[in-house]
Structure 1
Amino acid sequence: MPAEETLWIVLKDGCRLAARLWLPEGEGPAPAVLEYLPYRRRDRHRGDDAILHPGLAAAGYAAIRVDMRGSGDSDGTMDDEYTPQEWADANEVIAWIAAQHWCSGAVGLIGLSWSAFNALQIAATRPPALKAIVTTCGSDDRFADDMHYMGGALLNDNLQYGSTLFTWLAPPPDPEIVGERWRAMWLDRMNAISEPPAARWMRHADRDAYWQSGSVCEDYARIEVPVLAVGGWADGYTNAVHRLLSHLSGPRKGVIGPGGHAYSHVATPGPGFDFIGLAARWFDRWMKGVDNGVEAEPMLTAWMQDYEPPRPQYERRAGCWVAEAHWPSANVETRTFNLAADALRAEAGARFAASVKSPATVGLASGEWCPYGWGPDMPGDQREDDAGSACFDTAPLDEPLAILGRPEVKLVLTVDGPEAVLALRLNAVAPEGTSARVTYGLINLAHRDGFAHGKPLVPGSRIEVRVPLKVTGYRVPAGHRLRLAVSTQYWPLTMPLPVVATATIEQGSLALPVRRGEGPGAPDLGAPWSPPPLETDVIEAPARGRLVITHEVATGRATVEVVRNLGAIRIRETGLELRALGSETYSTVRDDPGEASSFAFRKAEFIRGDWQARIETRSMLTATATGWRLHAEYDAYDHGERIFAREWTIETPRAGMSGDGV
């Protein structure tokens, strides 16, 4: 579908937002579907737009992509994600769209990642013209399930994504669109950066008002429009699908495939499905009034993964589609296993003492917190990590075990210091010993009594913790064993605390959601389809994942090198050469996590004719005795001349270590 390259939406305060529009064939107004995010419709997100919005237009929708305030070619500045200004602007945008001659007055929202979050957030503000949303790889809880914390433990994704947003908060608009004022707009944007986003997020180490804002789980009743929630087992955000199905009261549906962080018609690992067709059916029902029966289909459709030898990258995951008419499902029952001295068994056991003091390198087989499926970013064979953990195994299973839902672990333990993080992995162990991660969870023990306010541990004091693991759909074959592995490190997925902690487990249990029967037949989701990809000349192919792991025998130092490239391309439609390149280096010492460091580099460059603009950022995270230290540098260049430079060194206390949480 041909697109109208630039429309201007003028907000009440005079701010102009840039939009791109695809209209369906035929005459007369049509319902509109909006995607609203800061990821630049002219370049950075143009490839994603090309494989989604023309498809929506072909399905009979006016598809519109709007650059948020301060991003792309829009006016203004931006300093953070998910703000009241973002939602207020969105309400004006939706009203503007509904009033256009090409719109029937009905508007839907669709989104992936950032735009999946704000689709939920905007729905909670109840704009009158909004009729339905489709949210993919997003979250209803910004503290529990985003790239900053997991179980209150600081993720290294906080630095890596913080570095990405740091770089893309303030790139220049395109001179072809805004004219000569592009340079002044660029300088205004850079001057508006108050601090690196990673530092802001670390300053909120508890689940405080900052995280509650924009977490629609605070009041699910605010969302009244029908919600289609889509995810992938490899993605970091899958927990939200089950919570939304469990807590929303209006029409809702969830689909979880095997893929990573991408729309499901292009996500890897496969198999994918016809995401555009599914979204169109959802919008048809609630925006066009088509009686297509989509609401009568099973509430949850999920890819049940079969065991296969673990690999850091898959093209396709073994398994099959299953469905549940409702969620929570009466077809899923809880089966409890109890921890014994070195076992996991159905009968309750006596107290025991299993101590674990993990090397700082446990976690090298973790994979990324949020895999994209583009490279080696999935969890591998867990045996090396198991060797540094306390492991509790079942006997070989007499029959296959189908897990669907969110397992939970309860532990009674003591710790010998004031702070510690536990990683809990549920693995499927094959008869020959291969160990595949089924799911996992983290807990920062400063948050053992909840996430509202962290407090230090009392060394040697007995504590009880409940740790939900990530939602999963996984079938463990007969003859395999289940293993619960508990470690006091999980690097480099987390930024390690600078302490060597010993945890002694005395009691525990694992509650597994076990799918008992076959359930209703899974609907046919169709073969994946998308419009043709964006026409580009590839200069450097996109790549993500852990490429090199090195060990220094003499010092015990381990280093993980990660590539984080969106790629370098020339976009034929606009004649623009875009370079979006990055990398990270994570380092730690086996017996001294206090030596750990995380470093991220990012570069964004825009070249066309005599226009050449470049941004480079560098971010280094280390630990202090009670906190984190972030050093960040931001440099901008016009034709190779540096026109802007700023650096920050910011220290923030860790959860429970601020002195006011005892």
Structure 2
Amino acid sequence: MPAEETLWIALEDGCRLAARLWLPKAAGPVPAILEYLPYRRRDRHRGDDAILHPGLAAAGYAAIRVDMRGSGDSDGTMDDEYTPQEWADANEVIAWIAAQPWCSGSVGLIGLSWSAFNALQIAATRPPALKAVVTTCGTDDRFADDMHYMGGALLNDNLQYGSTLFTWLATPPDPEIVGPRWREMWRARMEAISEPPAARWMRHADRDAYWRSGSVCENYADIEVPVLAVGGWADGYTNAVHRLLSHLPGPRKGVIGPGAHAYSHVATPGPAFDFIGLVARWFDHWMKGVDNGIMAEPMLTAWMQEYEPPKPHYEIRQGRWVAEATWPSANVAPRTLHLGTDGLAATPAAPFAATVKSPGTVGLASGEWCPYGWGPDMPGDQREDDAGSACFDSAPLDEAAEILGRPEVTLTLKVDREEAILAIRLNSVAPDGTSARITYGLLNLAHRDGFAAGRPLVPGESVEVTVPLKVVGYRVPPGHRLRLAVSTQYWPLAMPLPVVATVTLQGGTVTVPVRRGHGPPPPDLGAAWSPPPLETEVIEAPARGRLKVTHELATGTATVEVVRNLGAIRIRETGLELRALGRETYTTRRDDPSAARSFAARTAEFIRGEWQVRIETRSTLAATPTGWRLHAEYEAFDRDERIFAREWAIETPRAGASGSAER
């Protein structure tokens, strides 16, 4: 469906935002669906827009993609994510859309990732014209469930995503759209970068006011409009779907498929489903008043994954659709197993002591924190990681167990250092010994009493901690054993602390949410389809994931090499060649986690005739005795001339680190 390439939305302060609009063939004003994000509608996000927004227009909506202030061809500068300025601008945008002659006055929000976050955040500000929301692969809690921390442990995704945003915060507008002032706009954007985003996020190591801002879980009642929350089990953000269903006061539905970080009609692993059709039904009900029965369907529809031998990439994930009428569901009941010298059992065990001091390389089978499904980024066979962990196995199951919800682990333990992290995995162990990860969780023990303020451990003091694992839907077959694996490392998914800590486990439980019945029939979500993809000449295909792991036997050094390419393409509609390439290298030593280093490099390049501009960034992260050290470099080139360069060396304190522990 043809689109209007550029509309200008003038804000009250004089800033103009660039938008792209798809209108349906039907005459007359129609409801509008807005996606609002900084990922450049003109080029970087053009392929994603092509397979969503024309479909929304075909369903009878005005679909509009707006570049946020400071991004794409819009005016202004941007220095961070999820700011009050972002939400204030969005309120003006929604009011502008509602007042257009092609709009009926009703506006919906849709989003994936960044735009999934801000769809909820904007809804919490209650713009009058906003009538409904679809949020996909987003979160309601910025500290608990984003690419920065997990259980208070610093994720290496903080560096990799921080490097990506570092690169794209200050990309230039297109001269074909803004004319000769593109250089002035670009320079202003670069000058506005006060620090690398990764450094800012590391500076907030506790769940402080910075993270509470934009976390709609602080007050779910602020969101009054209906919300459809969609996710995928392979994605990093699935926990939010269950929380939103449990806590939002208004109408809500949730769908969780098998896929990774993408809209569900194109997500892998499949099977994908008719996401555009589901979205159209949701907005039809709430913005057109169509009685299509969607609110009579179960509150939660989820893909129940079946066990299969683990591998780093899947095209299709085995399983079936299940449904629950409400969430939380009376059809799901907790089953508690106790840790003991004989493994996991239904009855409490005698007191015991099990020690674990994991090698620095435990975690190589973790997969990515946030898989995209484009390459080898899923968790593999867990046996090597299990070998460096304290493992507790159940007896073989007499019958299948369907886990749906959030398992929780409670442990009594003591540590011989002031700092330590725990990584806890729940695995399904097949009769042949293959170990498949069902779900997992992390906890920085500095946050054992909560995330408001970290504090050092007292070596040798017994403490009780609770570690929620990620929400999951997984059928464990009869004959398999459940395994709880506890380690003190999870590299490279989490940045290791520079200490070799020994944890002594003294007792504990794992509580697993198990479905007791079949639940209502799931709705028919239909076969996946999308509008035609963007016409491009592919120079280098997109690729994400772990490419290679190498071990140096003499030194015990392990290195993981990762590719992070959005690809290199030539876009026929705009005549632009876009290159968005990246790589990472993570290095550690088996017996010395203080030697761990994380490195990320990114390149963004735009080429059309005489217009040839390029941005290169490099970021390196290491630990210090009490914090983190980030070295970052930013360079910008107009053709082959370097026109801007900046370098940072930043140290930030680490939650709960006192510097007095033996290292």
For the criterion TM > 0.5, the same-fold answer is yes
Match of 1:24 in 2: 24
Mapping 1:158-307, distance limit 5 Å: 158-307=158-307
Mapping 1:423-434, distance limit 5 Å: 423-434=423-434
Q: CA deviation at 1:656?
A: 1.1
Match of 2:118 in 1: 118
Match for 1:200: what amino acid?
R
Match for 2:487: what amino acid?
S
Match of 2:15 in 1: 15
Match of 2:325 in 1: 325
Q: CA deviation at 1:659?
A: 8.3
Match of 1:67 in 2: 67
- CA distances 1:271-319 after superposition (whole Å, capped 9, x unpaired): 0100000000000000001111111100000000000000000000000
Alignment partners' CA distance in 1, 2:271 and 2:452: 39
Match of 1:410 in 2: 410
- CA distances 1:169-215 after superposition (whole Å, capped 9, x unpaired): 00000000000000110000000000000000000000000000000
TM-score, reference length from structure 2: 0.99
Mapping 1:144-155, distance limit 5 Å: 144-155=144-155
Residue 354, structure 1, aligned to residue 326, structure 2: no
Residue 594, structure 1, aligned to residue 590, structure 2: no
- CA distances 1:504-549 after superposition (whole Å, capped 9, x unpaired): 0000000000001000000000000100000000000000000000
Tell me, yes or no, if the aligned pair for 2:357 and 2:503 is still in contact at 8 Å: yes
Match for 2:310: what amino acid?
P
Match of 2:393 in 1: 393
Alignment partners' CA distance in 1, 2:527 and 2:598: 41
Q: CA deviation at 1:635?
A: 0.1
Mapping 1:128-139, distance limit 5 Å: 128-139=128-139
Tell me, yes or no, if the aligned pair for 1:361 and 1:590 is still in contact at 8 Å: yes
- CA distances 1:409-454 after superposition (whole Å, capped 9, x unpaired): 0000000000000000000000000000000000000000000000
Mapping 1:39-118, distance limit 5 Å: 39-118=39-118
- CA distances 1:526-582 after superposition (whole Å, capped 9, x unpaired): 000100000000000000000000000000000000000000000000000000000
Match of 1:637 in 2: 637
Tell me, yes or no, if the aligned pair for 2:246 and 2:328 is still in contact at 8 Å: yes
SS in 2 for 1:381: coil
Alignment partners' CA distance in 2, 1:278 and 1:484: 37
Match for 1:633: what amino acid?
E
- CA distances 1:12-44 after superposition (whole Å, capped 9, x unpaired): 000000000000012100000000000000000
Residue 647, structure 1, aligned to residue 625, structure 2: no
- What stretches of structure 2 of length at least 5 have no aligned partner? none
Alignment partners' CA distance in 1, 2:254 and 2:102: 31
Alignment partners' CA distance in 2, 1:651 and 1:430: 45
Q: CA deviation at 1:657?
A: 2.1
Mapping 1:437-476, distance limit 5 Å: 437-476=437-476
Alignment partners' CA distance in 2, 1:631 and 1:315: 38
TM-score, reference length from structure 1: 0.99
Alignment partners' CA distance in 2, 1:289 and 1:376: 44
SS in 2 for 1:642: strand
Identity of aligned residues (%): 83
Tell me, yes or no, if the aligned pair for 1:342 and 1:391 is still in contact at 8 Å: no
Alignment partners' CA distance in 1, 2:248 and 2:273: 25
Tell me, yes or no, if the aligned pair for 1:29 and 1:104 is still in contact at 8 Å: yes
Alignment partners' CA distance in 2, 1:249 and 1:77: 36
Tell me, yes or no, if the aligned pair for 2:268 and 2:374 is still in contact at 8 Å: yes
Match for 2:556: what amino acid?
G
Match of 1:547 in 2: 547
SS in 2 for 1:49: helix
Mapping 1:360-379, distance limit 5 Å: 360-379=360-379
SS in 2 for 1:560: strand
Alignment partners' CA distance in 2, 1:424 and 1:513: 17
Alignment partners' CA distance in 2, 1:409 and 1:392: 12
Alignment partners' CA distance in 2, 1:122 and 1:62: 19
Alignment partners' CA distance in 2, 1:296 and 1:463: 47
SS in 1 for 2:281: helix
Q: CA deviation at 1:131?
A: 0.1
Alignment partners' CA distance in 1, 2:213 and 2:365: 34
Alignment partners' CA distance in 2, 1:584 and 1:322: 38
Tell me, yes or no, if the aligned pair for 1:130 and 1:225 is still in contact at 8 Å: yes
Residue 143, structure 1, aligned to residue 126, structure 2: no
Tell me, yes or no, if the aligned pair for 2:409 and 2:466 is still in contact at 8 Å: yes
Alignment partners' CA distance in 2, 1:305 and 1:493: 23
Match of 1:422 in 2: 422
Match for 1:384: what amino acid?
E
Alignment partners' CA distance in 1, 2:342 and 2:199: 41
Match for 2:112: what amino acid?
L
Q: CA deviation at 1:342?
A: 4.3
- What stretches of structure 1 of length at least 5 have no aligned partner? none
Tell me, yes or no, if the aligned pair for 1:321 and 1:522 is still in contact at 8 Å: yes
Match for 2:505: what amino acid?
I
Match for 2:7: what amino acid?
L
Alignment partners' CA distance in 2, 1:390 and 1:506: 12
Match of 2:622 in 1: 622
SS in 1 for 2:474: strand
Alignment partners' CA distance in 2, 1:410 and 1:308: 28
Q: Which segment drifts farther, 334-343 or 124-133? A: 334-343
Match for 1:521: what amino acid?
P
SS in 2 for 1:200: helix
Tell me, yes or no, if the aligned pair for 1:413 and 1:504 is still in contact at 8 Å: yes
Match for 1:630: what amino acid?
L
Tell me, yes or no, if the aligned pair for 2:625 and 2:659 is still in contact at 8 Å: no
Match for 1:312: what amino acid?
P
Superposition RMSD in Å: 0.7
Alignment partners' CA distance in 2, 1:422 and 1:379: 18
Alignment partners' CA distance in 2, 1:524 and 1:47: 28
Tell me, yes or no, if the aligned pair for 1:368 and 1:377 is still in contact at 8 Å: yes
Tell me, yes or no, if the aligned pair for 2:626 and 2:659 is still in contact at 8 Å: no
SS in 1 for 2:518: coil
Q: CA deviation at 1:658?
A: 6.1
Change (3 A) 1:417 1:97: same
Alignment partners' CA distance in 1, 2:436 and 2:290: 44
Alignment partners' CA distance in 1, 2:39 and 2:389: 41
Alignment partners' CA distance in 1, 2:44 and 2:586: 26
SS in 2 for 1:279: helix
Match for 2:83: what amino acid?
T
Match for 1:70: what amino acid?
G
Tell me, yes or no, if the aligned pair for 2:456 and 2:658 is still in contact at 8 Å: no
Q: CA deviation at 1:351?
A: 1.2
Alignment partners' CA distance in 1, 2:658 and 2:165: 27
